[in-house]
Amino acid sequence: MINAGSKQEILSRIKNAKRQEIPLELELPDLSSAIYKDIIPDALACFKTELESVAGNCILCHSENQLADVLREVLIDYKGEKIFCKDTEIAQFLDKNNIPFSTQTADFNTMQVGITACEFLVARTGSVVVSSHGDSGRQMIIFPPIHFVLAKKNQLVNYVEDALLFLQKKYADGMPSLVSFISGPSRTADIEKTLVLGAHGPKKLYVFIYE
């Protein structure tokens, strides 16, 4: 596939338009003032409110023990082979606490709940930042009908910008091939602008935050 010619052609047309010499009509805008509302009362409460406003669920736990109790309780109706988890650390935690789950490829297609970790949580928008880095990969963040995310309280940041900066710092040697900001369960409003949850991705999203 030859493409050098087209590249030069396109770039030279852009150069010849000489827009570089045209002064910008808009002055450099004020870059210091805030454009988004403050985080109130605190990041944790703000995250919970925002995530719930987009039909997500947020459950706060004070300790790992409490997290285990809560998980056991919400997962009680699901058989072990319907709960899928690829994350080694989480798997150990589930094992330790006698919560059944599967890692068998054969169970992937029929899973009902998928459990993953995450990179960050964004308070202002109620977003969960996930990436292809780590054991879960890409499929586990979009395929499960119900997505459980386990996060520590210190993964919480205020704004989208903050998460982007932290990501760049964390992956200074190169970003994971995919990073996604997820804000609520998958949705569509393509039929008469009626909101329907669970278009192609998870129908439900639970975020468990523990200390």
Phi and psi angles of residue 133, each rounded to the nearest 5 degrees, phi first: -70, 145
DSSP secondary structure letter of residue 105: H
Interface residue with other proteins among 39, 183, 206, 208 (CB under 8 A) is 183
Structure tokens at 122: 């964004």
The CA R_g of the chain, rounded to the nearest whole Å, is 22
DSSP secondary structure letter of residue 21: G
DSSP secondary structure letter of residue 102: B
**Is 102:137 a contact under the CB 8 Å cutoff?**
no
Q: Minimum Å distance from CB 60 to other proteins?
A: 22
Structure tokens at 70: 């809560």
Our finding on whether 170 is near other proteins (CB under 8 A) is: no
Q: Minimum Å distance from CB 151 to other proteins?
A: 18
| Cα 69 to Cα 75, 109, 184, distances in angstroms | 10, 27, 24
Which residue's CB is nearer to other proteins, number 63 or number 103?
103
> By CB under 8 A, which span of 32-40, 61-69, 71-79, 113-121 interacts with other proteins?
32-40
Q: 141-160 mask for other proteins (x: CB under 8 A)?
A: xxx---------------xx
Our finding on whether 202 is near other proteins (CB under 8 A) is: yes
Which residue's CB is nearer to other proteins, number 20 or number 104?
20
Which residue's CB is nearer to other proteins, number 42 or number 199?
199
Interface residue with other proteins among 65, 92, 103, 139 (CB under 8 A) is 139
Our finding on whether 116 is near other proteins (CB under 8 A) is: no
Which residue's CB is nearer to other proteins, number 67 or number 119?
119
Interface residue with other proteins among 201, 206, 207, 210 (CB under 8 A) is 201
Our finding on whether 118 is near other proteins (CB under 8 A) is: no
Beta bridge mates, 59: 208
**Is 177:45 a contact under the CB 8 Å cutoff?**
no
**Is 100:91 a contact under the CB 8 Å cutoff?**
no
DSSP secondary structure string for all residues of 77-98: TS-GGGEEE--HHHHHHHHHTT
Interface residue with other proteins among 112, 164, 166, 170 (CB under 8 A) is 164
> By CB under 8 A, which span of 24-32, 60-68, 92-100, 111-119 interacts with other proteins?
24-32
